[in-house]
Chain A
């Protein structure tokens, strides 16, 4: 047992730190720290900066233009980015579609789509969920009917994150209505500019406009946009979901979040003393910090195994549950710490408008973030579904 990183790993961490301090625009980290959302152009700029260094697609093998990192290196990179308040890498092309194409795409698809992801030519979004198909994804109804060289797609996707920015969507569609639910699904790449597609924003409870409904009416999709084999889409979708769950523990986000809470609690006064010295608040903070220390170590145990080539199993589900609960607890602490100044609705905190915040600037985003991050335990396989997976794999009843 050795809890230390190797010399190479430490050197790599220094590289990442240096890179971030040289290249991460202060305007971006400022927005992230304040809980503001980035514009499309800002996201694209950040992707381009990372791509310039060859670090945009940390989970891609060298042959496809990735850095070929192992799980430990990926973890170090993600952690340093979070601690520096770097914008999140938009996951849909890089983390989700990329690995599916590596494994199941044909040569033409790889040659066409992969460089475009790295170069930022396409903005992808994920068209899985439907109004009737959430946790039970396999019950999806959007259908694609083959007509000559095209599929004709009809139906509706929902919860499409950042679909308003996207020019491409990867979709699960039903191609065989008569087969068993999982067996009639195909994986299609669809150009969002095709006639018959309509994107409608969904406003979330914190006022943010990050998700959408996407409607398809007689949308013509060329057959060469089918990934892999027809009716085998469920296999690819499941493969993608395992990649969606990398960095699922969000240790870096939690560590950075905890620092923010402490900063608020040092500035806020309660009964004439800094809140951080208040025993009840200090106890709440300590509890979450201890949870995080343990979870970060679980995460490293899983990562270390993965770096040795052992695919994580049920541990991913454990990290998803614990990681999201801790992040949500931290959001809860932040809103508590801000006190009455958590009340004013700071639309600028969400939209990046230029009104000055009502209270101290640290207070502006905390309530919105608290509500927005309720999503963490709902998406990416809800925490109930994860618990079901954990229980099933061990109870055997």
Chain B
């Protein structure tokens, strides 16, 4: 048993932490959030050069990592600094799918992803799908080697700025069936696509995408016809671990800010941290933070396992992170008082980011139900 990071991961963690500490303060982040694309191309490029994206791909795919602990190491640091760049969408969801089921031509994109040259998005969620991964009503029909897509995709993270979209669509089966789902690589300027971008709470942009008779060649299909679901689920589980680690890093920062503030802020002639009412709650949060760390490590360590074991651990983690995330966000705001309610103070971003992670890839209730169902199987 060894809970230490390997030397390579330790180095990556150190350099990424140093880089973000120097480059990514609250003011910079707030500017990025309000910029047109919602991310900084420059920061992205520099992170790619640091190896941040390469660490998310295996050596076979041209990277130098790709395991659960690599993902956790990177995303904990991104979370700690409150990074809003959609690396998860490009590198894990879209990039992971291309690496897992792409043909040789399509896999050529991985090199560009690792180099930080292209941005991607997975257009999967739909207005009625909520957190249901197999619910797809967008249709794909093949006529004479051409595929026609129709439907609507909702809250597609990074959907407005991606160079390529990976669109899920149903070739057979009914709305809820895991079988019959295919993926397609679609350039965003394809005729029939209507993409409307908006800002997300906690940073980043998402898009509503309407597909109205979108014609694409059959070569655009990514992976096996109608059988993309297992890969989709697998990559979503990796991304879910990334979200857990990101939330963990953000919670560490929220706690660090809170502890620092409780020591500095004086009311009634003494630091508010000297009030037992706040001390006990701080202690509870620190206990929960360790719970969050452990469940994230646990899920990261089971990412390479068989499907059911993997998914059960991932759902356990996302459930607990949702629960603890709410507690740490709300309590750190409360114990700060009014100052934490302001946009300008660092905590606001972290609190929002942590809570909004509960709305990505399944919330705490969704994953509890899934955990129960996977245990019963």
Contacts and interface: CB of A to CB of B under 8 A. Distances in A.
Contacts of A371: 201, 351-352, 355
B117 interface: no
Contacts of B267: 134-136, 139
A11 interface: no
Nearest to B322: A336
Most chain A CB within 10 A, of B130, B196, B333, B334, is at B130
Interface residues of B, number: 50
A205 B275 contact: no
A328 B338 CA distance: 16
Contacts of B333: 374, 378
Contacts of B340: 205, 374
B278 A384 contact: yes
B128 A344 contact: no
B131 A340 contact: yes
Interface in A286-329: 328
Interface in A242-276: 268-272, 275
Contact of B341 (A281, A375, A384): A375
Contacts of A284: 365
A204 B206 contact: no
Nearest to A384: B277
Contact of B154 (A207, A359, A375): A359
B356 A343 contact: yes
A335 B364 CA distance: 12
Contacts of B194: none
A270 B132 contact: yes
A216 interface: no
Nearest to B270: A136
A382 interface: yes
B199 A359 contact: no
Nearest to A388: B277
Contact of B359 (A278, A340, A382): A340
B330 interface: yes
A156 interface: no
B268 A383 contact: no
Contact of B268 (A136, A270, A358, A368): A136
B131 A339 contact: yes
Interface stretch (B20-28, B211-219, B342-350): B342-350
Nearest to B326: A332
A129 interface: yes
A358 B198 contact: yes
Interface string A55-79: 0000000000000000000000000
A135 B268 contact: yes
Contacts of B125: 340
B176 interface: yes
A367 B334 CA distance: 17
Given A270-B130, A270-B132, A374-B333, A207 B268 contact: no
B185 interface: no
23 contacts: A132-B266, A134-B338, A136-B267, A158-B338, A205-B340, A205-B342, A205-B348, A205-B352, A275-B130, A281-B365, A339-B359, A340-B155, A341-B154, A341-B155, A343-B359, A344-B155, A345-B198, A345-B201, A358-B206, A371-B201, A375-B338, A377-B334, A384-B277
Interface of A: 129, 132, 134-136, 139, 158-159, 202-207, 268-272, 275, 278, 280-281, 284, 328, 332, 335-336, 339-347, 358-359, 367-368, 370-371, 374-375, 377-379, 382-384, 387-388
Given A340-B155, A340-B359, A344-B198, 6 more contacts: A275-B130, A336-B358, A339-B359, A340-B131, A343-B359, A384-B278
